[in-house]
Amino acid sequence: MDKYSKQYIASLGVRLAQKILSSDVGSVDEACYFIIRSVHRLVPSPMRIYLRNDYNEFEEKYYILDLGVQVGDDSLPMYQLDPELLKKLTAIQHENPGQTIISVPLRHKDQLIGFIEITRESPLSNEVLMALDAYGNSVSLGLYIIKEKDKSKRRRDLHNRIMKILVDLRAKDNIEKLVITFVNEVSRYFLYDRTCVFIFDEHGQIIYQYGAKSRGKPLTISHTPKIPKLDNKPQAFDDISGWWLPIRAKNQVIGCALVDNIYTLSKINENQLSALEELCNFVGIIIENMRLFESIERLGRVDHLTGIYNRRVGIYNINQLIKESDKKNLSFALIFTDLTGLKLTNDTHGHSLGDQMIKDFVGCINEVVRPRDIVSRMGGDEFLIIFPDCNMEGAEAAWQRIEAKMQAYNKATDKTYKLSASHGCVVYEPHSGVSANRLLAIADKRMYREKRQRASLPI
């Protein structure tokens, strides 16, 4: 190499920089590949090329030993670099017994963006060392520009991916689907070792959780890690490369996301972290809107005093069960019941006590019915109990247990009212063609018959 002049070697660097900036070179990795091959032709010795990454570490891109150009797999933190190289930003060499290490900086202005490390048995002359320094200075501009283009492309890709994730999240109609979509999309794109989301209820207890490994592979969360108290900012996860990110709605933390590289230990990019913060904020807004919608919808379906369904939902459920019974050839029963003495309690002691009477009556019903049975308040003192996949005998047995609950309640309390009720039962037989209104009319008539019998009135 000594036969090459400094000007000639510098001109090689300029030509390579032009090649890097042309359409022939499409990425930073490809540029590093051309650089190390070019230097190896000038100095046929073992060498490595390092490039500064987003974490201020110097990542080994390629190396040449005996088998040609190989992809690197090492990285050096800033503090492990030669202080002289960082200070002077010029080519330097250190002679050791039987070995000389040459460091050629790749610099842009006053910033070290990478370097080439050459290992030789003998040192280079000062003229050759200066020529390599000029070469590094020449190719650095091209390398810096393509590195910035690559960074800009990654930012655009990140932005586009985030927008796609946002579109996917908007399409979800419940919190569970939203959480699963968020975790899967993040893990597939960012390739973290683990991505987990935890959603809290109003008491801070976890009600939804889902996790995935890299590329969306399901992750079983057998042990929930201790979740720190979060505010507005992400918090580092213990001593590994990971972060807790708050999911917020109306200045309240309603959940959190955990992303980490617990296995690879690679650091998480700051740009990615900022994008994840925005995603978590968006997820919080969606969840808050879902909960608001569910609350509004619930108000339209539920009796506000008792928490059971209202009349509209009760009739809707009868119609749905008629269709299901015809399809599956299963009967169902319903009971229409009237709470005795509610009007007298309201007129004598006020509606506050009457409301308590209603809630106590519904409490007796709820203690007896099965999880799949449906209870609705049809109006003032009238209630509907639907028993899917049930006959007359089963429904009447359930009513007897409800009456027993009322009797036990009356003995255990000294309230001014006593719980009692009349009821009428009817069974829908598959394909009978009886409508919901007709079923209610039959049950209502039977309920009033019992009510008159209890009052010793003629039928």
The secondary structure of 4-62 as a DSSP string is S-HHHHHHHHHHHHHHHHSTT--SHHHHHHHHHHHHHHHS-S-EEEEEE-TTSEEEEEE
pLDDT given at position 324: 93
> Quick check: 283 pLDDT over 70?
yes
Least confident span in 2-16, 48-62, 337-351, 362-376 = 2-16
- Residue 108 belongs to what H/E stretch? strand 99-108
pLDDT given at position 259: 92
Domains of the chain, by residue range, sit at: 6-148, 172-296, 311-454
CA distances from 83 to 110, 111, 198 (A): 15, 14, 45
Q: Which residue has the higher pLDDT, 221 or 338?
A: 338
**CATH number, domain 311-454:** 3.30.70.270
- Residue 338 is given by DSSP the state E
CA distances from 161 to 45, 155, 164, 219 (A): 43, 10, 5, 23
Long-range CB contacts (within 8 A, 24+) of 81-89: 81/115, 85/112, 85/115, 86/112
Tens-place pLDDT, residues 131-145: 888 888 888 888 888
pLDDT category at 1 given cuts 50, 70, 90 is: very low
Residue 200 burial (CB count, 10 A) = 17
Please give the mean pLDDT across all residues of the chain: 87
Tens-place pLDDT, residues 395-446: 999 999 999 999 999 999 888 899 999 999 999 999 999 999 999 999 999 9
User: For the chain, what percent of residues have pLDDT higher than 90?
Assistant: 44
pLDDT given at position 6: 63
Average pLDDT over residues 347-355: 92
Tens-place pLDDT, residues 12-45: 777 777 777 666 667 888 889 988 988 888 888 9
- Residue 119 belongs to what H/E stretch? strand 111-120
Which residue is listed with tokens 């709470």? 339
pLDDT given at position 146: 84
| C-alpha triplet 401, 405, 408: angle, nearest 5° | 135
**CATH number, domain 6-148:** 3.30.450.40
Q: What fold, for 172-296?
A: Beta-Lactamase (3.30.450)
Q: Which residue has the higher pLDDT, 87 or 197?
A: 197
Average pLDDT over residues 334-358: 93
Average pLDDT over residues 228-256: 86
Task: Residue 149: name the closest of 316, 30, 305 by CA.
Answer: 30
Any residues with CB less than 8 A from the CB of 1 and at least 6 apart, and which?
A: 42, 43, 124, 128
Which residue is listed with tokens 């190390």? 36
> Quick check: 242 pLDDT over 70?
yes
pLDDT category at 294 given cuts 50, 70, 90 is: confident
Average pLDDT over residues 210-225: 84
Q: Are 393 and 379 in contact (CB under 8 A)?
A: no
Rounded CA gap, 289 and 291, in Å?
5
Task: Residue 115: name the closest of 85, 147, 74 by CA.
Answer: 85
- Residue 1 is given by DSSP the state -
Q: Are 197 and 182 in contact (CB under 8 A)?
A: yes
Do the first three CATH levels of 6-148 and 172-296 match, i.e. the same topology?
yes
Residue 95 identity (one-letter amino acid): E
pLDDT given at position 85: 86
pLDDT given at position 128: 85
Rounded CA gap, 256 and 234, in Å?
9
> Quick check: 8 pLDDT over 60?
yes
Rounded CA gap, 405 and 342, in Å?
18
Q: Which of 114-128, 181-195, 267-281, 431-445 has the highest mean pLDDT?
A: 431-445
Q: Which residue has the higher pLDDT, 49 or 295?
A: 49
Tens-place pLDDT, residues 139-176: 888 888 888 888 788 778 877 878 888 888 877 778 88
pLDDT given at position 24: 66
Q: Are 77 and 57 in contact (CB under 8 A)?
A: yes
Secondary structure class of 368 (helix, strand, coil): coil
User: Is-above-0.75 flag for pTM?
Assistant: no
Average pLDDT over residues 231-259: 86
